[in-house]
């Protein structure tokens, strides 16, 4: 079994599910009554837990004290409508990447939320020193990612990066397009069937995790994209940030 190393910053995803039965008398906002609260590891830790749900040979390098970095979403309990998101403590220290045991692992999965844990130079170093690096990044793409194996970004991130994408990058990029599926090298890979989307939070992490796992098993990127589409389509039907369940 090939060993996977996830590298990236992490947080806690907190979902506060509420009832809203009246408006405040002084300002036109709903008065929330808390029904329940759920939390789970988020960002790179969510990628790791998705990988671990279907594949055990996985470790992570992430920011110490990641539990103090929070994204708290206030949600309507019955409709899952989002009222508000509050983020705290995103002052994340940079990794000492040259101390990382990259060659202990057959595949590196970079989950870069662009909060300061990894610089462009760090990602360039990883790609130049390992031949099997997958990147999921919130950064605008550039030549620092040119030696990655594959790069997964969503359609918004692709549009931001489009003018910076060179020939060295374009054939490596997998663009997720929500209900339409994903594109790669000019081809569309559709989702297996239309589903009701209940919550898209963390769906990109699930897609990335499934992509990496299936590629580790098969070495076939097209089959990996198809598998990732299926997994992402499953998790968006659930409330909150959910993990892959292999059927």
17 — pLDDT class (breaks 50, 70, 90): very high
Establish if 141 belongs to a structural domain.
yes
The CATH number covering residue 63 comes to: 3.40.1190.20
Q: What is the per-residue pLDDT across 28-49, written as a single tens digit (0 to 9) for each? A: 889 999 999 999 999 999 999 9
Establish if 41 belongs to a structural domain.
yes
234 — pLDDT class (breaks 50, 70, 90): confident
How far apart CA 114 and CA 132 sit, in angstroms, is 21
In this structure, what token pair is assigned to residue 16? 């506060």
Establish if 216 belongs to a structural domain.
no
The total number of structural domains in the chain stands at 1
Res. 247: pLDDT tops 60: no
- Identify the residue whose tokens are 């990628």: 47
Degrees, nearest 5: CA angle 225-117-168? 45
How far apart CA 33 and CA 154 sit, in angstroms, is 34
Give the DSSP H or E segment for 187: strand 187-189
Q: What is the per-residue pLDDT across 185-220, written as a single tens digit (0 to 9) for each? A: 999 999 887 766 666 667 899 999 999 999 999 999
Establish if 102 belongs to a structural domain.
yes
Establish if 91 belongs to a structural domain.
yes
pTM (predicted TM-score): 0.91
Q: What is the pLDDT of residue 201?
A: 66
Q: What is the pLDDT of residue 167?
A: 87
Establish if 113 belongs to a structural domain.
yes
245 — pLDDT class (breaks 50, 70, 90): low
Establish if 243 belongs to a structural domain.
no
Residue 188, φ and ψ in degrees, nearest 5: -95, 130
The domain of 126 spans 4-175
Q: What is the per-residue pLDDT across 3-16, written as a single tens digit (0 to 9) for each? A: 999 999 999 999 99
Establish if 223 belongs to a structural domain.
no
């Amino acid at each position: 079994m090939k060993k996977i190393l996830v590298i990236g910053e992490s947080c806690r995803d907190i979902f506060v599910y509420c009832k809203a039965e009246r408006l405040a008398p002084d300002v036109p906002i709903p008065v929330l009554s808390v029904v329940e609260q759920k939390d789970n590891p988020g960002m790179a830790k969510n990628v790791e837990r998705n990988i671990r749900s279907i594949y055990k040979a996985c470790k992570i390098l992430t920011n110490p004290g990641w539990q103090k970095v929070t994204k708290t979403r206030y949600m309507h309990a019955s409709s899952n409508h989002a009222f508000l998101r509050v983020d705290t403590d995103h002052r994340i220290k940079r990794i000492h990447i040259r101390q990382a045991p990259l060659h202990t692992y057959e595949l590196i999965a970079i989950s870069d939320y662009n909060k300061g844990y990894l610089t462009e130079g760090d990602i360039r170093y990883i790609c130049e020193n390992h031949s099997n690096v997958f990147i999921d990044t919130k950064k605008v793409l550039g030549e620092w990612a040119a030696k990655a194996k594959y790069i997964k970004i969503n359609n918004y991130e692709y549009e931001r990066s489009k003018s910076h994408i060179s020939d060295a990058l374009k054939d490596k990029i997998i663009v997720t397009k929500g209900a339409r599926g994903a594109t790669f090298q000019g081809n569309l890979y559709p989702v297996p069937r239309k589903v009701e989307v209940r919550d898209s939070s963390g769906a990109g992490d699930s897609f990335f995790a499934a992509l990496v796992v299936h590629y580790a098993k098969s070495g076939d990127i097209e089959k990996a994209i198809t598998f990732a589409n299926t997994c992402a389509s499953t998790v968006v039907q659930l409330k909150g940030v959910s993990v892959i369940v292999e059927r």
